[in-house]
Amino acid sequence: APAAGAGPADRPRRALATPATRRLARELGVDINQVPGTGPAGRVTSDDVRAFAARRTAPAPA
Amino acid sequence: MGSIKTGTDVVVIGAGPGGYVAAQRASQLGLDVTLIEREELGGTCLNHGCIPSKALISVGDLLYKVNNAAERGLVVKGSVEVDFAKTQEWKETKVIKRLTSGVASLMKAGQVEVVKGTARFTDPHSLEVELNDGGTAAYTFKHAIIATGSTAVNPSFFPLDGENVVDARGALAFREIPPRFVVVGGGYIGVELGIAYAKLGSKVTIVEATGQLLPGTDPDLVNVLMRRLRRLGVTVMLNARASGGLQNGKVKVQDGEGKVHEIEADKVLVSVGRVPYTEGLHLDKAGVRVDEKGFIPVDEQMRTNVPHIYAIGDVCSPVMLAHKASAQGRVAAEAIAGRPSAADWQTVPAVIFTDPEIAYVGLTEAQAREKGYDPVVSRYNFAAVGRALTMGESDGMVKLVGDRQSGLLLGAQMVGPEVSELIGEIALAIEMGAQMEDVALTPHYHPTLSEGILEAALSWMHSIEKAGRK
Amino acid sequence: MGSIKTGTDVVVIGAGPGGYVAAQRASQLGLDVTLIEREELGGTCLNHGCIPSKALISVGDLLYKVNNAAERGLVVKGSVEVDFAKTQEWKETKVIKRLTSGVASLMKAGQVEVVKGTARFTDPHSLEVELNDGGTAAYTFKHAIIATGSTAVNPSFFPLDGENVVDARGALAFREIPPRFVVVGGGYIGVELGIAYAKLGSKVTIVEATGQLLPGTDPDLVNVLMRRLRRLGVTVMLNARASGGLQNGKVKVQDGEGKVHEIEADKVLVSVGRVPYTEGLHLDKAGVRVDEKGFIPVDEQMRTNVPHIYAIGDVCSPVMLAHKASAQGRVAAEAIAGRPSAADWQTVPAVIFTDPEIAYVGLTEAQAREKGYDPVVSRYNFAAVGRALTMGESDGMVKLVGDRQSGLLLGAQMVGPEVSELIGEIALAIEMGAQMEDVALTPHYHPTLSEGILEAALSWMHSIEKAGRK
Ligand SMILES: Cc1cc2nc3c(=O)[nH]c(=O)nc-3n(C[C@H](O)[C@H](O)[C@H](O)COP(=O)(O)OP(=O)(O)OC[C@H]3O[C@@H](n4cnc5c(N)ncnc54)[C@H](O)[C@@H]3O)c2cc1C
Ligand SMILES: Cc1cc2nc3c(=O)[nH]c(=O)nc-3n(C[C@H](O)[C@H](O)[C@H](O)COP(=O)(O)OP(=O)(O)OC[C@H]3O[C@@H](n4cnc5c(N)ncnc54)[C@H](O)[C@@H]3O)c2cc1C
């Protein structure tokens, strides 16, 4: 129990998101810190991540 | 011998909570794993750290509780004696041995090859093991995970003698309860063991160089502990320096004013820190870099500067905690298996098994302010928590830190009964990005200690409501 | 007298955990509140229920633990005796009294007018109080909150005699530990008190009419409890019916095969259920409807059929739990103050303070299937949890229920040490809509009992991964 508390990810501008959502972002190759959050207190939801990934990979309209 | 090289997907060096968990996870993911350990499976944690310390603490606790239950109508006619040989035997066979054989079964089930010996790198893709049974063996590997842990500092100002001046490992293995026990270093290891032996019957003195026990811990929490230490008869010397070892049964301690005291002692525990352990590993042969303090720097996937070599646990950062090692072990194994895992948790909870227990996670008020939040703190005392009163354990409090604007729960600092378990709820809340309201509106069973959290969250909400949030 | 009517914004009838919390919250929100209680502040819960039962349980627990710690090296030379008068005095003065005076201070701080007496409605906007000190007082109110709670069933087949055949309130107030104690009814109240007295020295028999103790509880949990009861020497008779009261120191019990046994008993606790209590309230004069079982139906804001009259706690639904009453009290107070609060929580955790403890929340596997989920269950035994071994408390397990498709954590069933506190994490997880992964990826301190939850969540993830989620 020494100097914990300050976790490795206590870094500035860390997106607010649950562990499962973070993992989803990594799975989809999305930098979660770029995803705008629509949840409470600006939380990034899994839908936000999916939408972001879809926008990114959506083929440009022909 | 030593010339036949066995190939393996993953070699894990060190079988502590970092290494054995990494080995297990890698094997679950279909990798071929070799785990090298020169002592017992389970590492420091299971054999000489977390587990044996908590075993002694819980025995001391029970003894102390029953000897202080007269008010509750439990009267000791005669006495409750400690048969310490029995305690130690129980600790070894019914606690440690069960867990380490559990680890052995896990390794077997996962078809992890366990090699007993000391590993050293020979080049970036191979290593050699000096086998405990004699001889050497050589391995080539696609990936390596370094999990060699840490070791107690042996300070020149108070050198260990392995007999009466010992590190925590030695103190956990005492054959008898030392009548007079001096602890040099008031960090969590020293304080936990100091209290355990005090409850078991030792006259204990804790010598701490700084102005506070448990440096780095919220002073509000430590104050509650200090009151209990007084009741336990533990002497605490702050701003004090012990030096020169145990001489004629005495320890020299210089206090803050420069006055020198001689404290009688049968045994001395020196616990002044732990350092990463990579001795004899020949990291240079693998090309793995260490920093100026000896830690192996890693990225979010636990990769060292050599991309196919990972490091986890105590060896890679000064947050030396078993669960951090295990979580990192899972990340490293998954990364090797090609998964997008990362050590990106927000918080690592801290617990100290003192009496009362201390636990904290996330940000303190000061840390929150530094990070640009507008922190509001609420507290709730266990003296007003029904369950605490029914247990006869009403010292302590819950402090919750929340951000005024967003309502986010940023951190908790607690001291009191079972806060080691209560912290789990808050750690999850923080990882989930919970707002204070989420905690305040979640039903908490009555009567439980976790109502302390509920009440602190409710009072946080109500204070914001009074002050006006927007 | 009785003709001068005092007007008030909110009148609360009954000062249990429903009523006093509602009164406090209403006053915080700026309302003028009158609280009417004919007995002590704190209601059943603080005076004759949750709190005193847990006080006796914890004393019995400590005694049992120390008498069974020889393996851990604690040897009782002589004996640990129970001075039960002392225990009761402690329970009354240091536990109950402290909490009830805490409630009194809260009421004072909130300027709640506390009236000691029995209330009855005279019309939809006024009531009369038969004062404990004599005389009556009359009140008109804008809003009323009915929080009159529940009362123990006094069954005709085994009538209470208030002396040797008692309800829980009576059993909590025994002046001596009954040498032979029979419990009629194996619900949580009976089993908790049965175990408490067994540990304190009674020879205990529990008679339950159905085929399982704690009807409605996951049998996996009850099985663990049954083993412990055997070790405690508690006799459990299932499918058995006691009747006819205590005759010549004997209780007649007919077993499942129709055979009649005579069980010797000094005291008998009859705990066969509780019913809503509205006697003498004259609900009809206020126009408040009750259902066929006597409960007052309410909407999500705790409104009865009369929109300005609310009902909370035991009187309004068969889930008779103190924290539910308190949470509903907050909702009612906030609704009266015009806030959009609602009793819309997903889960109310259940805890049973047996040995080992039982706790559950959310859905069981069967319930999840019924609701159309595809449930996957994982379990983890406390025998593999380091902290449990260090406490010498390794019986029990954690069961987690999750939905295969969505990964949602749906419920948990636990039996083991301190699960009363562990359930807080899961209750929050469910309220937050957490996935199993969220729990599995949140660092849990080592060594803690909550690692049982972590390991169950991890093994859930890994089993899904093997089976393939999509
Ligand atoms: C008294 C005490 C109490 C503690 N209490 C707690 C607590 O309550 N909670 C908590 O989280 N942490 C606690 N810790 C810290 C915890 O023990 C460590 O954080 C944890 O053990 C680190 O795990 P690890 O896997 O990184 O290394 P270790 O557990 O140190 O394991 C490293 C292993 O590597 C082996 N090894 C090293 N070099 C080689 C080599 N070249 N070849 C083969 N094998 C090698 C060692 O023999 C050792 O078994 C405590 C520590 C102490 C000393
Ligand atoms: C032995 C036992 C153990 C229990 N353990 C637990 C537990 O561990 N956890 C848990 O959640 N629940 C437990 N319960 C249940 C818990 O006590 C109730 O759910 C809770 O007390 C309900 O609160 P309430 O405010 O609805 O009513 P009560 O607490 O019953 O309060 C109602 C109050 O109204 C007063 N009253 C009634 N009519 C009038 C009137 N006309 N005028 C004035 N005053 C009136 C009564 O005197 C009483 O004080 C236990 C119960 C028992 C009996």
3-state SS, residue C335: helix
Interface test with chain A among B344, B423, B426, by most A beta carbons within 10 Å: B344
Q: Residue B308, CB half-sphere, CA atoms under 13 Å: how many?
A: 12
Ligand 2, pocket-test mutation among C121, C148, C154, C309, most atoms within 8 A of CB: C148
Average pLDDT over residues B351-365: 98
Interface test with chain C among B27, B28, B331, B445, by most C beta carbons within 10 Å: B445
Per CATH, which fold does B4-152+275-336 belong to? FAD/NAD(P)-binding domain (3.50.50)
Assigned CATH for C165-272: 3.50.50.60
| Straight-line distance from the first to the last Cα atom of chain C, in angstroms, rounded to the nearest whole number | 75
Given this model, what pLDDT does residue B3 score? 54
Please write the tens of the pLDDT for every residue from B384-437: 999 999 999 999 999 999 999 999 999 999 999 999 999 999 999 999 999 999
The dihedral over CA atoms of B234, B239, B243, B248, expressed in degrees to the nearest 10, equals -40
Which residue carries 């029970």 as its tokens? Answer: B62
Give yes or no for residue B430 CB within 6 A of ligand 1. no
Please write the tens of the pLDDT for every residue from A14-54: 899 999 999 999 999 999 999 999 999 999 999 999 999 99
Mean pLDDT over all residues of chain B? Answer: 97
Instruction: Look at the alpha carbons of C209, C211, C212, C214 in this order and tell me if their dihedral is positive or negative.
Output: negative
Both tokens of C50, joined, read 């949750």
Chain C contact partners (≥3 CB pairs within 8 A): A, B
Given this model, what pLDDT does residue C469 score? 44
CA B52-B144-B140 angle, to 5 degrees, is: 125
Contacting residues of C for A49, CB less than 8 Å apart: none
Contact C134, C255 (CB under 8 A): no
The answer for residues whose C-beta is within 8 angstroms of residue B366's C-beta and 6 or more apart is none
Given this model, what pLDDT does residue B5 score? 81
Helix axes C50-67, B50-67, angle to 10 degrees: 110
Extents of the domains making up chain B? 4-152+275-336, 165-272, 350-469
Q: Do A20 and C442 touch (CB under 8 A)?
A: no
Both tokens of C467, joined, read 């089976």
Which residue carries 């020295």 as its tokens? Answer: C201
Backbone phi and psi for residue B156, each to the nearest 5 degrees, phi listed first: -70, -25
Contact C310, C332 (CB under 8 A): yes
Which residue numbers of A have CB closer than 8 Å to B's CBs?
Answer: 1-10, 12, 14, 16-19, 22-23, 26-27, 29, 39-43
Ligand 2, pocket-test mutation among C11, C13, C50, most atoms within 8 A of CB: C50
Q: Does C442 touch chain A (CB under 8 A)?
A: yes
Q: Do B87 and C95 touch (CB under 8 A)?
A: no
Sheet strands side by side (includes B165-166): B165-166, B267-270, B180-184, B203-207, B235-237
A10/chain C closest Cα distance in angstroms: 14
Q: Do C324 and B75 touch (CB under 8 A)?
A: no
B53/chain C closest Cα distance in angstroms: 9
Distance B353 CA to ligand 1 centre (A): 18
Q: How far apart are CA B221 and CA B213, in angstroms?
A: 10
Name which residue sits closest to atom 2 of ligand 2, judged by CA.
Answer: C49
C102 belongs to an annotated ligand binding site:
no
Given this model, what pLDDT does residue A58 score? 64
Please give the sequence-ordered ranges of beta strands (E in DSSP) within C60-108, or none if there are none: 74-82
Q: How far apart are CA B92 and CA B98, in angstroms?
A: 9
Please give the sequence-ordered ranges of beta strands (E in DSSP) within B281-428, or none if there are none: 309-311, 350-352, 357-362, 375-381, 397-403, 409-416
Name which residue sits closest to atom 44 of ligand 2, judged by CA.
Answer: C37
The dihedral over CA atoms of C215, C217, C223, C226, expressed in degrees to the nearest 10, equals -50
Count other C-beta atoms under 10 Å from residue B415's C-beta.
Answer: 27
C438/chain A closest Cα distance in angstroms: 5
Contact B343, B410 (CB under 8 A): no
Q: Do A19 and C407 touch (CB under 8 A)?
A: no
Distance B392 CA to ligand 1 centre (A): 35
The pTM score is 0.96
Contacting residues of C for A20, CB less than 8 Å apart: 407, 434-435, 437-438, 441
pLDDT tier for residue A62 given thresholds of 50, 70 and 90: very low
Which residues 161-200 on chain B approach chain C with CB closer than 8 angstroms?
Answer: none
Give yes or no for residue C358 CB within 6 A of ligand 2. no
Give yes or no for residue C313 CB within 6 A of ligand 2. yes
Sheet strands side by side (includes B260-264): B241-247, B250-254, B260-264
H or E segment to which residue C361 belongs: strand C357-362
CA B388 from centroid of its chain's CA atoms? 25
Given this model, what pLDDT does residue B364 score? 97
Given this model, what pLDDT does residue B458 score? 97
Give yes or no for residue B390 CB within 6 A of ligand 2. no
Q: How far apart are CA B147 and CA B16, in angstroms?
A: 7
Q: How far apart are CA C61 and CA C354, in angstroms?
A: 10
The dihedral over CA atoms of B223, B225, B229, B232, expressed in degrees to the nearest 10, equals 140
Both tokens of A32, joined, read 């979660």
Both tokens of B344, joined, read 């990106």
B192 belongs to an annotated ligand binding site:
yes
> pLDDT 10s digit of each residue in chain C, 470 long?
445 788 999 999 999 999 999 999 999 999 999 999 999 999 999 999 999 999 999 999 999 999 999 999 999 999 999 999 999 999 999 999 999 999 999 999 999 999 999 999 999 999 999 999 999 999 999 999 999 999 999 999 999 999 999 999 999 999 999 999 999 999 999 999 999 999 999 999 999 999 999 999 999 999 999 999 999 999 999 999 999 999 999 999 999 999 999 999 999 999 999 999 999 999 999 999 999 999 999 999 999 999 999 999 999 999 999 999 999 999 999 999 999 999 988 888 999 999 999 999 999 999 999 999 999 999 999 999 999 999 999 999 999 999 999 999 999 999 999 999 999 999 999 999 999 999 999 999 999 999 999 999 999 999 998 775 43
Catalytic sites of C, residue numbers: 446
Given this model, what pLDDT does residue B310 score? 98
C191 belongs to an annotated ligand binding site:
yes
Given this model, what pLDDT does residue C468 score? 58
Q: How far apart are CA A62 and CA B276, in angstroms?
A: 58
Q: How far apart are CA B41 and CA B340, in angstroms?
A: 29
B323 belongs to an annotated ligand binding site:
yes
Q: How far apart are CA C51 and CA C62, in angstroms?
A: 17
Distance C345 CA to ligand 2 centre (A): 21
Please write the tens of the pLDDT for every residue from B149-171: 999 999 999 999 999 999 999 99
Q: How far apart are CA A44 and CA A21, in angstroms?
A: 8
Please give the sequence-ordered ranges of beta strands (E in DSSP) within C132-231, or none if there are none: 136-146, 150-152, 165-166, 180-184, 203-207
Q: How far apart are CA C119 and CA B156, in angstroms?
A: 77
Q: Do A5 and B361 touch (CB under 8 A)?
A: yes
Domain B350-469 in the same topology as domain B165-272: no
Both tokens of C71, joined, read 């393996």
- Which residue of B422, B447, B462 is in closest CB contact with C28? B462
Distance C16 CA to ligand 2 centre (A): 5
C273 belongs to an annotated ligand binding site:
yes
Q: What separation in angstroms does the CA of B282 have from each of B120, B151, B172, B279?
A: 6, 17, 31, 8
Q: Do A2 and B363 touch (CB under 8 A)?
A: no
Q: Which residue has the higher pLDDT, B130 or A59?
A: B130
Q: Do B321 and A4 touch (CB under 8 A)?
A: yes
Ligand with smallest separation from the Cα of C166? 2
Give yes or no for residue C45 CB within 6 A of ligand 2. yes
Place domain C350-469 in its CATH homologous superfamily: FAD/NAD-linked reductase, C-terminal dimerisation domain (3.30.390.30)
- CA closest to C439 among chain A residues: A19
Average pLDDT over residues B444-464: 97
Residue C375 pairs in a beta bridge with C403
pLDDT at A9 over 60: no
The answer for residues whose C-beta is within 8 angstroms of residue C230's C-beta and 6 or more apart is none
Which residue carries 């709640």 as its tokens? Answer: C112
Give yes or no for residue C323 CB within 6 A of ligand 2. yes
Backbone phi and psi for residue B307, each to the nearest 5 degrees, phi listed first: -60, -25
pLDDT at B288 over 90: yes
Question: Which parts of B110-176 fold into alpha helices (H)?
Answer: 168-172
Ligand 1, pocket-test mutation among B44, B129, B298, most atoms within 8 A of CB: B44
A21/chain C closest Cα distance in angstroms: 8
B185 belongs to an annotated ligand binding site:
yes
C108/chain A closest Cα distance in angstroms: 36
Q: Do B216 and A2 touch (CB under 8 A)?
A: yes
